[in-house]
Amino acid sequence: MEVCEGCLLRDYVPEEYKEEAFPCQHLNESAVERFVTVPELSARVADRLVSIAEELEASAHAEDFSNEHQGYP
């Protein structure tokens, strides 16, 4: 099972979901309202999301490239 490491938002996740692989999927509006008031946390979360998006995009491009060139040395 894949686990999100170093979650910046674990403190804002309801207790019953904190041990799941991706606990931030259970953030509710109240939690978001609380964490956006923490200085620099919003920027750190945004940076992390951009980083994850870039990783996913690079992975998708690599997979597309591999599929396009299957069978070539």
pLDDT in tens, 27-65: 889 888 888 888 888 888 889 889 888 988 998 887 777
Q: What is the largest CA-CA distance in the chain?
A: 54
* pLDDT at residue 71 in the model: 57
Domain hosting residue 46, numbered range: 10-68
* pLDDT at residue 59 in the model: 87
**Amino acid, single-letter form, for residue 60:** A
Query: What's this model's pTM, rounded to 2 decimal places?
Result: 0.58
**Amino acid, single-letter form, for residue 51:** S
If residue 51 lies in a helix (H) or strand (E), which one and from where to where?
A: helix 41-68
Count of domains forming the chain:
1
Tokens of 1: 């099972």
- Alpha-carbon distance 71 to 51, whole Å? 32
pLDDT at 1 exceeding the cut of 60: no
